[in-house]
Copies of this chain bind each other. A is one copy, B any other.
Amino acid sequence: MRRKIYVDSSVPGVRVPFTEVELGSSPGPLGDEPNEPVRLYDTSGPGSEPEKGLPALRRQWVLERGDVAPCDGRAATARDDGRGAVRDTARRPDPFPGAARTVLRASAGRPVTQLHYARQGVVTPEMAFVATREGVEPEVVRAELAAGRAILPANVNHLESEPMVIGKRFLTKVNANIGNSAVTSSVAEEVEKLTWATRFGADTVMDLSTGPAIHTTREWIVRNSPVPIGTVPIYQALEKVDGSAPDLTWEVYRDTVIEQAEQGVDYMTVHAGVLLRYVPMTVNRVTGIVSRGGAIMAAWCLAHHEENFLYTHFEELCEIFAAYDVAFSLGDGLRPGSVADANDEAQFSELRTLGALTEVAWEHGVQVMVEGPGHVPLDKVIDNVVLQQQVCHEAPFYTLGPLTTDVAPGYDHITSAIGAAVIAMAGTAMLCYVTPKEHLGLPDRDDVRAGMVAYKIAAHAADVAKGHAGARAWDDALSKARFEFRWEDQFDLALDPETARRYHDETLPAEPAKTAHFCSMCGPKFCSMRISQDVRRMAADDPVAVGLRSKSDEFRDTGSQLYQAVGRPS
């Protein structure tokens, strides 16, 4: 049986949610032997009525630090939802109806970021929360944050979020992208996708809306999100100038960042590494520039023949981010969009620039992670994280897949889960999921689920391979349940219990089959698990088998001679 529990952290009153799976007992020689319950990381949040939003879990923690003050905040305007919204008021969705909210901002001269506190040696309630969540000492969290090897995205205006940490020392995280486009989706659908994403384990959610009502959609999402929210502010800025990249200005962008920071966005993708001189490097690529933000900035640079304003104004951006504890997700605007373009000059030139920008952000006390590709053939995947860790001074890497082949549209959650598992094993801290709809359309709820499950698999496979403390225990508990035909335990422990149960029931639906010592794959007579249990019993009970066991011990003692003795059959 699955149930939600709360576990105390090192800070009084700070309690951490887990899913606890209670297990049946195992048959033992002296009767039933109980199995310890298994605790699983839980991102689903406390649940909400979308119109009210989630409770402000972090309010007290933030206010008690005394480093923020209420500010008037920027009044939302119709233009925030794009010029289209100004013209076409009928298409505007309802504003978020929840309680009025005080906008917070750093008090004059006061640093507020988790990076700042970590450097000061302070374990914040947020750090204590994630330490318990990860099963490590709070000092480990603090030290990794202080070194910049991990980030804890926690905007002072997103009080609803349950803290989490992104860093290679911790469990591999998964981000789910949601958001509408000009062609499709409503606000209610986006909130539903958010809920499905966190139900299936999304550690953060990016709202990539590009359609109408960007501001309003985001308000609904942030207020209902138990996980950090990321955005790409250039999308909204472009809407404000009616989709014309050359009309973008630093001022429009800056105001958009402030607007989003006030709403509570926890991290923002900034394509500050798309430098004017790198753009021509993409001309002979098979797929040019495939990052939307990268393409927008490249078009701006070329139109003005000026350097990227995100680069030239980067320090001002750092000051804004610092005032709300927004983390940078330094965008890879020149990432490859096909395996042909992987690891090329454009991609790696930009990456080195992101390394330089990482240091600038750190000087301002701002948390940073760095985004990575994209489409990369399997033999070139690990080079990406090795180079990123080197040139970005071990700032966390956050990769989109990578997709290991371009030939399977409709299945890119799989082409990319392969690359994702490998790059995470090699040190990527967070994976951006890819859904089956990638390259074809916007994901619906079912696509969100398919993408999430594929990526939770990739992340967990990497954690097991990295030997992350506790990761393997989940596998072992499920395998033990499988071997002992504890079907209900097997379903409850499954990454997606509902699907596992449904597949089993398609061929053996009857309730007694849930306790049967076989399944429909082989039927009762052929079950290797059952035969194997018989073998185990024979080896335990039978004098002959006991003889075998001591023989086996003897073979073990002779070591490799055993193998040399294995010659031709007689």
Contacts and interface: CB of A to CB of B under 8 A. Distances in A.
A340 B479 contact: yes
A277 B184 CA distance: 64
Contact of A500 (B440, B444, B500): B440
Contacts of A461: 377-378, 404-405, 415, 418
Contact of A539 (B283, B340, B409, B440): B283
Interface stretch (A73-81, A90-98, A294-302): A294-302
A414 interface: yes
A252 interface: no
Interface string A459-500: 011101111000010111011101100000011011110011
Interface string A530-549: 01111110111010110011
Interface stretch (A60-68, A102-110, A139-147, A353-361): A353-361
Contacts of A528: 289-292, 294-296
A276 B411 contact: no
Contacts of A295: 528-529, 531-532, 535
A467 to B, nearest CB: 8
Contact of A296 (B279, B529, B531): B531
Most buried by B among A183, A345, A529: A183
B183 A507 contact: yes
B377 A411 contact: no
Interface stretch (A130-138, A222-230, A518-526): A518-526
A280 B418 contact: no
Contact of A292 (B359, B453, B502, B526): B526
A389 to B, nearest CB: 16
Nearest to A289: B532
A349 interface: yes
Interface stretch (A3-11, A311-319, A365-373): A311-319
A441 B521 contact: yes
A277 B551 contact: yes
Given A302-B548, A340-B476, A414-B417, A522 B290 contact: no
Interface string A415-426: 101100110010
B437 A238 contact: no
A87 interface: no
Q: 6 closest A-B pairs (Cβ-Cβ)?
A: A182-B523, A338-B479, A288-B532, A295-B531, A378-B465, A295-B528
A377 B463 CA distance: 10
Interface stretch (A48-56, A119-127, A255-263, A562-570): A562-570
Interface string A380-407: 1000000000000000000000001111
Contacts of A436: 503
A320 interface: no
A360 B568 contact: yes
A59 interface: no
A436 B490 CA distance: 15
A289 B533 CA distance: 8
A119 to B, nearest CB: 21
Given A441-B507, A464-B404, A476 B531 contact: no
Copies of this subunit: 2
Given A461-B378, A566-B352, A441 B520 contact: yes
A275 B495 CA distance: 36
B526 A472 contact: no
B566 A523 contact: no
Contacts of A442: 507, 520-521
A161 interface: no
A32 interface: no
A526 B568 contact: no
A464 B406 CA distance: 10
A503 B441 contact: yes
Contacts of A519: 439-441
Nearest to A378: B465
A235 interface: yes
Interface string A247-281: 00000000000000000000000001001111111
B305 A544 contact: yes
B474 A407 contact: yes
A334 to B, nearest CB: 10
A504 B441 contact: yes
Contacts of A531: 245, 289, 292, 295-296, 298-299
Given A339-B472, A378-B425, 11 more contacts: A278-B552, A279-B535, A279-B548, A280-B539, A280-B549, A286-B476, A286-B483, A290-B528, A295-B531, A298-B531, A415-B457
A25 interface: no
Given A272-B569, A440-B504, A552-B281, A526 B299 contact: no
A408 interface: yes
B441 A508 contact: yes
A21 B74 CA distance: 56
Most buried by B among A289, A290, A407, A472: A407
